[in-house]
Copies of this chain bind each other. A is one copy, B any other.
Amino acid sequence: MVEIKNPLYNTAAPSTQSIHADGHLHATPDVASSISVSTTFEYNKKDIAANNYGLDQRYVYARSGTPTITKVEATLSTLAEGHAVVFGSGLTAAFAVLVEQRPKKIALGNGYFGIKNVVEQYQRLVPGVQIVGLDCSYSGVDLVWLESPINPNGEVRDISSYALRAHAAGAVLVVDSTLAPPPLSYPFRQGADIVVHSATKFLGGHSDLLAGVVVTRAQKPAESMRAARSVLGTGPGSLDVWLLLRSLRTLSVRVSNQSQTATRLVAFLENHRRLAVVTDCHSPSAQELAIGRRIAAVRHASLQLCATHCSFIETQHPSGFAPVFSIRFATSAQALFVARHLQLHTFATSLGSVESLVDWRHGVDPKEDPCLLRISVGLESFDDLASDWTKTLLALDAHEKSSAKL
């Protein structure tokens, strides 16, 4: 495999990397890359290689790679500090890791249910594969699948500690870092061996492309997964990957802004919740009480930090926490009332996009708490989002009161 990274950008800021790390791959003077759609590439008729094809012929057939895929991989390899391979979706990427690593015993925690479905598909094919919990003994475990930050509440797991345990057991540590792409987190710095992203989420960031990415610390597994992708045709679509390249250009400003707004919004909601519970020193207004008293719980890395003071939380997130948090109510009816009432949070699944999203996870994952909503914070202003929550929670309070009267 030819190294596609441009080492010049290893020390640049993430925002600079996002824009220039693929510059050396431009084959034409087009400043914005064209959307490569060709499935086949003419052989060079002049400089002939040993196999009688063109010398330095980088592309032969699109299943094996395209100019846009190479650019995205160069950029992501630089940004994510490893060797990136893109796939058709985050779960496609996850399956590619399993196929390449061929684990016999996998440690897997709670979090995104999709990975469990993928592991089940893997188990259907490979007999005798065992699953143990993330906090069980790693004896015999050859692959640890860690999600941090955790879906649906954006809390952080201590990657270093899992890395120590995994490596002590001879296992590979895979970190699903979907909720906190660069510049929010860099799992290789805490010992991850492989990092996985659903690029559909923050990397894509506009709810308009499906893609996934595996980033490996070592070069060889990336080569191997790229070869398997070529055989199985599991790369991203031509427009999806081009839109991903376009999205990467704004990754830092998007994600930094979303992270800051999310942390402010979490504080806003948690403060109101607490005001309604702890009323000794401060005397909340009637409106403050009405806003806060229907919130059962708010969870987010920023609150986790307040509660635990664990230093790994800050260490893993040098420039901000995941723009995703959860909020819980007393009943599922209340949760659904809120999901349907919010105006600036689109009621739809997925996360990481420019528009704020609210999802009732129980609807897609029956194991999830039906009283819980997952919030993915977009690029709207904090004031507008806070106002949306204020109106919604006041409406919920009024609704509950009028229901109670009946």
Contacts and interface: CB of A to CB of B under 8 A. Distances in A.
B127 A127 contact: yes
Interface of A: 8, 12-13, 15-16, 18-20, 26-45, 51-54, 57, 59-63, 67, 87-92, 95, 99, 102, 114, 117-118, 120-122, 124-127, 200, 204, 206-210, 212, 228, 231-241, 243, 246, 249-250, 252-254, 257, 332, 336, 339-340, 343-344, 346-350, 353-355, 357, 360, 362-364, 378-381, 383-385
Contact of A237 (B239, B353, B385): B239
Contacts of A43: 29, 339, 347-348, 363
A235 to B, nearest CB: 7
Given A88-B88, A237-B236, A62 B250 contact: no
Nearest to A125: B125
A322 B294 CA distance: 45
Contacts of A348: 29, 31, 40-43
Q: Which 10 A-B pairs have the closest CB atoms?
A: A237-B237, A89-B233, A13-B381, A239-B239, A30-B38, A32-B208, A40-B350, A35-B35, A92-B233, A34-B34
20 contacts: A13-B380, A15-B379, A19-B378, A28-B67, A29-B42, A29-B54, A31-B39, A32-B40, A35-B239, A39-B208, A39-B350, A43-B363, A52-B360, A125-B125, A206-B249, A208-B246, A212-B233, A239-B240, A250-B254, A250-B379
Contacts of A252: 379
Contacts of A117: 231
Nearest to A250: B250
A236 B235 CA distance: 9
Nearest to A198: B233
A101 B281 CA distance: 65
Residue of A16, A33, A41 with most partner-chain B CB within 10 A: A16
Contact of A363 (B52, B62, B246, B362): B52
A318 B381 CA distance: 17
Contact of A51 (B27, B363, B380): B363
A19 B59 contact: no
B29 A232 contact: no
Nearest to A92: B233
Contacts of A32: 37-40, 206-208, 353
Contacts of A204: 39
A223 B81 CA distance: 40
Nearest to A387: B12
A343 B16 CA distance: 11
Contacts of A41: 29-31, 348
A301 B52 CA distance: 29
B233 A210 contact: yes
Contacts of A16: 344, 380-381, 384-385
Nearest to A90: B233
Contacts of A39: 31-32, 200, 204, 207-210, 350
